[in-house]
Amino acid sequence: MNLRQIDSPRAPTTAQAVSFPATILAPAKLNLTLDVLGRTNDGYHELSTVMVPVRWFDSLYFEPLAKLGGRAGLINFSLHGSGRNELVPANESNLVVRALQLLRERSGCELGARVSLVKRIPSGAGLGGGSSDAAAALQIANRGWGLHWSEERLSALAAELGSDVPFFLAGAAAICGGRGERVERLPRGVPLNFVIVKPEDSLSTAEVYRRFDELKTASAVRRDKRTIASMSCDLRCGAVGNFAAWMSNSLQTAAASLSSWIEQVERVFADLGFAAHQLTGSGSAYFGICRHAGEARRLASIIKSRQLGLVFVTRSCG
Ligand code: C5P
């Protein structure tokens, strides 16, 4: 079981020693590659994508509760934080509540929970915030309810909730296939420094894929084993000077046709000399990779003066 980081009144010294109530951090992600290879039988798109978790966190408080009265009271959910907006439901349709209800149903668990989500990761951004929250909910409930589900079993449930949820359960940089749910962890690498901009516009993942189809965008060529090995090698040793040669995002043109902000942001990033830069996921957030933390801070302060949106400086984690 791979709990990423838990803060609790008594901080755990080992993964086994979690006391409840507890709070788990749910990171954002960035897609360093996103190749759309074709369509899957269920109408989704077949992907190959390299994703890294980054230190931009929502946090999820979880307090197990003994059996409560009515069904509606089983998960007592509240939503807070600066990332809270109309795209993030504050009721039972939130992915956190759906994840917990699904886990209760499948495990036969009769306990409830008081759950409080502090949203900081912007939604409609391609940063995976909702999926990360759902993965965090599955992990912490597995512990808090004493279910002892294996990572494989949780991961299968996670895939029912969303394509990116299994990646967040893995808690490390990974190359993901299928519709995103087949996760292969990559070797741990040196932390990478990023500047992320979230423009005012938010984008719907489904709409970006629809536009991708409308534009009849050609499928990406499947990368061979040697290319994947050399990407993995660059990631492990933080050879950011090589990243521009292999980073790409098949969804960027479709996303840019839905939001004019994306090309504006791209132009500014291109002028500033980032090691590499592109859209993350289906957007609208855009990121650049820097050679060191000082460069990230310097470029972020220039970008802030251009008023392109919310600017965030961060590092990879996991
Ligand atoms: O799986 P998730 O709920 O994150 O996907 C949101 C939407 O994005 C899906 O309903 C689908 O329209 C689109 N999608 C896709 N192919 C993928 C992942 C997502 O077409 N591999």
Asked whether 163 lines ligand 1 (CB < 6 A), one says yes
| Phi and psi angles of residue 165, each rounded to the nearest 5 degrees, phi first | -65, -40
Which are the catalytic amino acids? 29, 164
Report the pLDDT value the prediction gives residue 68, as an integer from 0 to 100. 56
Q: Who contacts 64 (Cβ-Cβ below 8 Å, separation ≥6)?
A: 20, 21, 111, 112, 113, 144, 145
Q: To 10 degrees, what angle do helices 151-161 and 95-107 make?
A: 130
CA of 206 to the centre of ligand 1 (A): 6
Ligand 1 centre to CA of 35 (Å) is 14
For ligand 1, atom 21, name the residue with the nearest CA: 179
308 lines ligand 1 (CB under 6 A): no
Ligand 1 near 29 CB (within 6 A) = no
Q: Residue 280 has what pLDDT? A: 99
Q: What is the pLDDT of residue 315?
A: 98
Burial class (CB in 10 A: 0-12, 13-18, 19+), 224: exposed
pLDDT of residue 6: 47
Within 8 A by CB and 6+ apart from 213, the residues are none
316 lines ligand 1 (CB under 6 A): no
**162 CA closest ligand 1 atom index:** 1
Q: What is the dihedral of CA 227, 233, 236, 242, to 10 degrees?
A: -70
Q: Relative to the CA of 164, which ligand 1 atom is closest?
A: 4
Ligand 1 pocket member 211 (CB < 6 A):
no
CB of 149 shorter than 6 A to ligand 1:
no
Buried-state track 73-111, b at ≥16 Cβ within 10 A, e below 16: ebbebebeeebeeeebeeeeebbbbbbbebbbeebebeb
Q: How many CB atoms lie within 10 A of CB 11?
A: 11
Q: Which of 269, 294, 293, 292 is nearest to 279 (CA)?
A: 269
Angstrom distances, CA of residue 167 to CA of 80, 87, 186, 202, 215: 25, 22, 11, 22, 28
Report which of 165, 236, 240 is spatially closest to residue 195, judged by C-alpha positions. 240
By most ligand atoms within 8 Å of CB, the mutation choice from 36, 44, 133 for ligand 1 is: 44
Rounded to whole angstroms, the Cα distance separating 151 from 169 reads 8
pLDDT of residue 84: 87
Using the mean position of ligand 1's atoms as its centre, give its distance from the Cα of residue 203 in Å: 13
Please tell me if the CB atom of residue 180 comes closer than 6 angstroms to any atom of ligand 1.
yes
**Residue 180 Cα to ligand 1 middle (Å):** 9
Quote the ligand 1 centre to 209 CA distance (angstroms): 7
Cα separation, 64 vs 309, in Å, equals 38
Measure 205 CA to ligand 1 centroid, in angstroms.
6
DSSP state of 250: T
| pTM attached to this predicted model | 0.94
pLDDT tens for the chain, residues 1 to 318: 334 444 433 333 344 568 999 999 999 999 999 999 999 888 999 999 999 999 999 999 999 998 755 554 589 999 999 988 889 999 999 999 999 999 999 999 999 999 999 999 999 999 999 999 999 999 999 999 999 999 999 999 999 999 999 999 999 999 999 999 999 999 999 999 999 999 999 999 999 999 999 999 999 999 999 999 999 999 999 999 999 999 999 999 999 999 999 999 999 999 999 999 999 999 999 999 999 999 999 999 999 999 999 999 999 998
Pairing between strand 75-80 and 182-185?
Answer: unpaired
Dump pLDDT digits (tens) for 152-191: 999 999 999 999 999 999 999 999 999 999 999 999 999 9
